[in-house]
């Protein structure tokens, strides 16, 4: 439980042109993130395209990430899958390679409601010795929608806490109880999530500017809230600009421009068009955004 806190990038997965995992780029990204002071990573989640990969590819990414995680830092492996047997096998693999915890989105699709979500999490938590972090994302995965439902899931044996991806931070505040870890999942409101009791954050934009989010977390812990707000506002200018484009292709394009080739997203996602790339470069050239990005990036 003590290891489950702080700033954890939702790790992006670089790919070669033929779709294989780009090991060198992934290791370079991990080195950059830990050098910036992040406290761990969240592996093979939505940002990392885990649900689009084969089980073997997900195991490969998890092995690389865990092997490149410094001692004292956390590695949470997302194991959610359409087939429970795949999720169970991924959870077993995560335990075998030394991950800190596992996590999973709830089941999705027609006919899946709260009863199915509860049954899924109960079975997954029982199948692994690693603590389980529930992924609460009601906008996209509505099988868990209310505080009462979330509390019932969190009360299951071996559930350590929640990755909370929602803007209703009153629910975050209510679920952030002693003995339970809560990660803020909306990058735009990390500051507010920390104020409401989150123990840290898991986010996509942490891949781009990890130092900014590490500083927000540290300043919040020190109670320097005016500075926290300034940092959050600065980061939100970047987030607002990038969200005008398809998110994951845009993040990969920016990382590629920064010196870490990330390749394309997996099918069915596509890359940015030439016109979109030019527009993204223009957006990133705004002074308020350049002030947040590292100065040596060639964008």
Banded model confidence at residue 1, pLDDT cuts 50, 70, 90? low
Banded model confidence at residue 298, pLDDT cuts 50, 70, 90? confident
Is 135 tagged catalytic?
A: yes
Q: Which of 42, 135, 141, 206 is catalytic?
A: 135
Is 177 tagged catalytic?
A: no
Banded model confidence at residue 95, pLDDT cuts 50, 70, 90? very high
Residue count of the chain, please give it: 299
Please list the residues that pair with 78 across neighbouring strands.
Answer: 103
Cα separation, 206 vs 12, in Å, equals: 10
Residue 2 has pLDDT above 80, yes or no: no
Mean local confidence (pLDDT), 229-235: 98
User: Is the peptide bond prior to 268 cis by the omega test (within 30 degrees of 0)?
Assistant: yes
For every residue of 75-127, DSSP letters joined together read: EEEE---SSHHHHHHHHHHHHHHT-SEEEEPPP-STT--HHHHHHHHHHHHHH
Mean local confidence (pLDDT), 234-249: 98
Q: Write down the pTM of the prediction.
A: 0.97
Q: Which of 120, 136, 163, 206 is catalytic?
A: 163
Query: What are the pLDDT digits (tens) for 110-131?
Result: 889 999 999 999 999 999 999 9
Q: What is the dihedral of CA 198, 203, 208, 209, to 10 degrees?
A: -10
Answer whether 12's CB lies under 8 Å from 84's CB.
no
Phi, psi of 183 (to 5 degrees): -105, 130
Mean local confidence (pLDDT), 145-164: 97
Q: How many CA atoms lie within 13 A of 74 on its CB side?
A: 26
pLDDT of residue 109: 82
The chain-wide mean pLDDT, for the chain, equals 97
Q: How many CA atoms lie within 13 A of 177 on its CB side?
A: 9
For every residue of 233-286, DSSP letters joined together read: HHHHHHHHHHTTS-HHHHHHHHHHHTT----PPPTT-----HHHHHHHHHHHTS
Cα separation, 108 vs 138, in Å, equals: 11
Tokens at 262, concatenated: 């990330």
Banded model confidence at residue 99, pLDDT cuts 50, 70, 90? very high
Q: What percent of the chain has pLDDT over 90?
A: 96
Query: What are the pLDDT digits (tens) for 29-71?
Result: 999 999 999 999 999 999 999 999 999 999 999 999 999 999 9
Q: Show Cβ contacts of residue 77 under 8 Å, excluding neighbours closer than 6 positions.
A: 43, 44, 62, 65, 66, 90, 91, 94, 99, 101, 102, 103
Query: What are the pLDDT digits (tens) for 253-294?
Result: 999 999 999 999 999 999 999 999 999 999 999 999 999 999
Cα separation, 258 vs 260, in Å, equals: 6
């Amino acid at each position: 439980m003590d290891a489950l806190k702080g700033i954890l990038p939702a790790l992006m997965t670089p790919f070669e042109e033929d779709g294989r995992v780009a090991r060198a780029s992934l290791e370079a990204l991990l080195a950059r993130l830990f050098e910036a002071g992040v406290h761990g990573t969240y592996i093979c989640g939505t940002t990392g395209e885990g649900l689009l990969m084969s089980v073997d590819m997900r195991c490969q990414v998890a092995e690389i990430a865990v092997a490149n995680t410094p001692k004292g830092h956390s590695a949470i492996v997302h194991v959610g899958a359409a087939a429970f047997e795949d999720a169970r096998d991924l959870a077993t693999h995560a335990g075998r390679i030394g991950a800190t915890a596992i996590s999973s989105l709830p089941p999705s699709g027609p006919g899946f409601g709260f009863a199915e979500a509860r049954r899924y999490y109960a079975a997954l938590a029982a199948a692994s010795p690693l603590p389980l972090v529930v992924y609460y994302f009601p906008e996209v995965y509505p099988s868990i929608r209310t505080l009462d439902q979330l509390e019932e899931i969190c009360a299951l044996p071996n559930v350590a806490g929640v990755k909370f991806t929602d803007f209703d931070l009153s629910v975050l505040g209510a679920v952030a109880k002693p003995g339970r870890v809560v990660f803020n999942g909306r990058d735009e409101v990390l500051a507010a999530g920390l104020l409401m009791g989150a123990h840290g954050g898991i986010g996509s934009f942490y891949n781009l500017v990890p130092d900014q989010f590490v500083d927000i977390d540290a300043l919040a812990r020190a109670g320097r809230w005016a500075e926290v707000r300034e940092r959050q506002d600065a980061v939100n200018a970047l987030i607002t600009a990038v969200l005008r484009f398809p998110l994951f292709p845009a993040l990969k394009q920016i990382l590629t421009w920064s010196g870490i080739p990330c390749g394309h997203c997996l099918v069915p996602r596509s890359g940015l068009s030439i016109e979109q790339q030019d527009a993204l470069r223009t957006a990133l050239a705004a002074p308020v955004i350049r002030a947040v990005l590292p100065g040596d990036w060639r964008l």
